[in-house]
Amino acid sequence: MTVAWSSPPLPMPWYRARVEDAWLETRTARTVVLDVPGWPGHHAGQHVDVRLTADDGYTATRTYSVASAPEAGRLVLTVQLVTEGEVSPWLVGEAREGDELEVRGPIGGWFRWDEQMPEPVLLVAGGSGVVPLMAMVRHRSRVGAVQPFHLVYSARTPDHVIYTNELFALARTSPGLRVDRLYTRGGLPDDAREPGRLRPQDLPAVDAFPAPPVVYVCGPSGFVEAAGGILIDQGHDSGAIRTERFGPSS
Amino acid sequence: MDIVTRGFVGRRSGGDPRIPPGQYLERDFPVLSAGPTPVVRREDWTLRVEGVDGSSGILSWADLHRLPVEDVRTDIHCVTKWSKLDTSWRGVDVEAVLAAAGVGTQGATHVLVHAHGGYTTNLPLADLRGGRAWIATEYEGASLAPEHGGPARLLVPHLYFWKSAKWVSGLQLLAQDRPGFWEQLGYHEYGDPWREQRYVGD
C-alpha cells in the first residue's frame, strides 16, 4: 500500500462553474453567482482564481475575493471593473446566466475569519475591499456568532457603497454588528463628517473593544498603508492586523 | 477541460517572451503583504546570519554598505499574476553578505529568510548563490520605500516575488527545508514562475 501522507501534494483542481445570476451593485461593481459542482467551500476572507477561455483556447486568469459566506457547491463574487483589464470587463459587462468558466481555490490561509476565533473583530474596508469583509459579516450572521463586529467602510460617495441595503438590514438585525460608512468625495446632506480620506477619529482605538480585536484591512494600497498607520497609533498590535491590498487585479 | 466562455475574447496584449505563463504585464508596482508596514529605521536595521551549527554574524546598515554594490536590471513576477519588466535595483550580492557574516555554509541546504514583522519564507541555499540574489536597498534610483520593503529587502527575481522578503532581518541556514509563512498557507514550496508553481502541488 502507498502511504498517502508521504506522497507529494496534488495540485488544486479547476472546477467548472456556471453563472447562475448576476447583478450590478454600483455602476462599476457586479455580483456574479456561480454554481460550482464539487466545490468544497472556503473560509470567509479567502479568494479564488477565475479562468476564462476564448473559443480558440486562449485563457486569462485573475484572482477575486469571495463575497459569500462559506458553502459547498456555490460561490458569489463581487467584481470591480478595471477598464483596461482583461477578466473584469467580461465579468462586469458580459457574463449572464448559463455562461461557463472555471474556478480554482480557495486561496489564502491568513486573511480569513471563522467563528472559532473568540476575539472581537474590526473590519476596515476601502472601496471594493469590502468584498472579503462582507463574506465575514455574512458568515457571522449565518452561524449566529456573537463576537462584536465593527465594520468601517470608506467609499467615494453613497453611490459607490456596495451591499448598501444588505448592510443597513444586517446592522439592524444582527446584535453586536456595527457598520460605519464614511465618504471620501461627497456624502449625504446631514452627515456630521466632512467628506475626506481616512482620519484617526474614523477608526476605533483598541480600548473601544471589550478585548483587543483582530483587525482585517482590505482596500487599495494607499488606503491600507494609511489605515495600518492609524491603527497602530490607536494602540492596536501590529500582529493583530491582517491586511489585503489590491493592486490592479484586472 | 473542454470549456469555452461565451463572449470572452481577451486582450492578448502579451506575446512578450519575458512574461511567464499566466502572468500579465503591470506598469505600476502593486504591494503584497500580510500586515501593516513595519517602520524600520536604517540605524536600527540589522541582518542576522545564522549557520546550521548555531554560529551567527550580524551586519549593520554600515556593514552592508561596506560591501560591493551591484546594479541589477531584472523582470519581477508576483504570484498574484502581475509581472513588471526591466525594473532596476541596487544591492549587495547575498554571496558577499554570507562571506561578510563569517558564517560557514557547510551542511546547509536551505535558508529560512526572516523579516521584521514576523514574516518568513524558505528557499534552497543554491538559489541565493551564484549572483542570482541580493539584499536590495534602492529601487529605480531612490531609497527603497517602506511599503516595498525598505530599508532593505531580499531580491530573488527568478522566483515569485513573495520569496523576495521585504524588511529582511535574517538568513537562517538550514540542514533541511522548513516551510515559511506563505508556504505554510498553501503557496508553493519553490515558486518558479516559468513552471507556474503558485500553490501547493502545482
Instruction: Compute the CA torsion angle A242, A247, B1, B2 (nearest 10 deg).
Output: 140
* Residue A162 C-alpha, separation from nearest chain B C-alpha, in angstroms: 23
CATH H-level, domain B44-195: superfamily = Oxidoreductase, molybdopterin-binding domain (3.90.420.10)
Q: Do B4 and A53 touch (CB under 8 A)?
A: yes
Residue in the block written with cell 523576495 = B164
Which amino acid, residue B182?
A: W
Q: Do B10 and A231 touch (CB under 8 A)?
A: no
Q: Which of B1, B2, B6 to mutate to test the interface with A (most CBs of A within 10 A)?
A: B6
Say yes or no: A249 contacts chain B, CB-CB below 8 A.
yes
Quote the CA–CA distance of B66 and B55 in Å, as a whole number.
22
Residue in the block written with cell 497609533 = A233
Give the chain B residue nearest A227 (alpha carbons): B36
- Residue A10 has what pLDDT? 84
Radius of gyration of chain B (CA): 18
Say yes or no: A90 contacts chain B, CB-CB below 8 A.
yes
CATH 2.40.30.10 holds for A14-107: yes
pLDDT below 70 — which residues of chain B?
A: 1, 13-14
Give the chain A residue nearest B197 (alpha carbons): A11
Q: What are the boundaries of each domain within chain B?
A: 44-195
- CATH number, domain A121-246: 3.40.50.80
> How many other C-beta atoms can be found within 10 angstroms of the C-beta atom of residue B15?
6
Radius of gyration of chain A (CA): 19
Q: Taking Cα atoms as reference points, which of A86, A50, A85 lies closest to residue A67?
A: A50
* Residue A48 C-alpha, separation from nearest chain B C-alpha, in angstroms: 11
Q: What are the boundaries of each domain within chain A?
A: 14-107, 121-246
- pLDDT tens digit at each of 250 positions of chain A: 344 445 667 889 999 999 999 999 999 999 999 999 999 999 999 999 999 999 999 999 999 999 999 999 999 999 999 988 899 999 999 999 999 999 999 998 899 999 999 999 999 999 999 999 999 999 999 999 999 999 999 999 999 999 999 999 999 999 999 999 999 999 999 999 999 999 999 999 999 999 999 999 999 999 999 999 999 999 999 999 999 997 644 4
